[in-house]
Amino acid sequence: MIKYRKGYKYQLAEDWTKQTTIKDYEYDSQFLKLTKDGMLLIRSGYAWDGPSGPTIDRKENREGSLPHDGIYQMLRNGVFPEEEMEKIRLYADKLMCSINRSKRMWKITSNLYKIGVSNFASFAAEQENKKKVYVE
């Protein structure tokens, strides 16, 4: 018997860290860790689906999608209080766009990404949208 989840394209080959402004929360799971001072650690082996929606995966948007997916996963897992969830979700969107810009994405393209995720991706952060576990 195996248990697995579908829908991933990439798997992190080494740990990735980023200082965030998400402070005063602690979370530590197999692949994601957030410290009280806002340090986000995504551990080697973490799988994510890359940029979503009507986009093409490119070097300019791949890394930004990593913490975006990780923070959205924490939102789905109920790590943050409900009254903070929208603020943290919008921060994840902003962080993704900031990283995309640092990878030389055009500013207009980055702004379109931010508009898209901020207005149309909130469902992906909702707890009822956790990845389904399949058993065979």
Position 21 pLDDT exceeds 90:
yes
Position 117 pLDDT exceeds 90:
no
- CB 11 within 8 Å of CB 49: no
Position 50 pLDDT exceeds 90:
no
- CB 74 within 8 Å of CB 81: no
Q: In angstroms, rounded to a whole number, what is the distance separating the alpha carbons of residues 106 and 112?
A: 10
pLDDT tens digits, 51-74 = 877 777 888 889 999 999 999 999
pLDDT tens digits, 75-96 = 999 999 999 999 999 999 999 9
Burial of 134 (0-12, 13-18, 19+ CB in 10 A): exposed
- CB 76 within 8 Å of CB 50: no
Position 46 pLDDT exceeds 90:
yes
Q: What percent of the chain has pLDDT over 70?
A: 99
Position 110 pLDDT exceeds 90:
no
Q: Residue 23: how many CB atoms within 10 A of its CB?
A: 11
Q: In angstroms, rounded to a whole number, what is the distance separating the alpha carbons of residues 77 and 74?
A: 5
Nearest Cα to Cα of residue 10 among 81, 56, 65, 60 = 65
Q: What percent of the chain has pLDDT over 90?
A: 62
Domain ranges of the chain: 3-129
Predicted confidence at residue 133, as pLDDT, reads 80
Higher pLDDT, 125 or 62: 62
Nearest Cα to Cα of residue 92 among 80, 104, 103 = 80
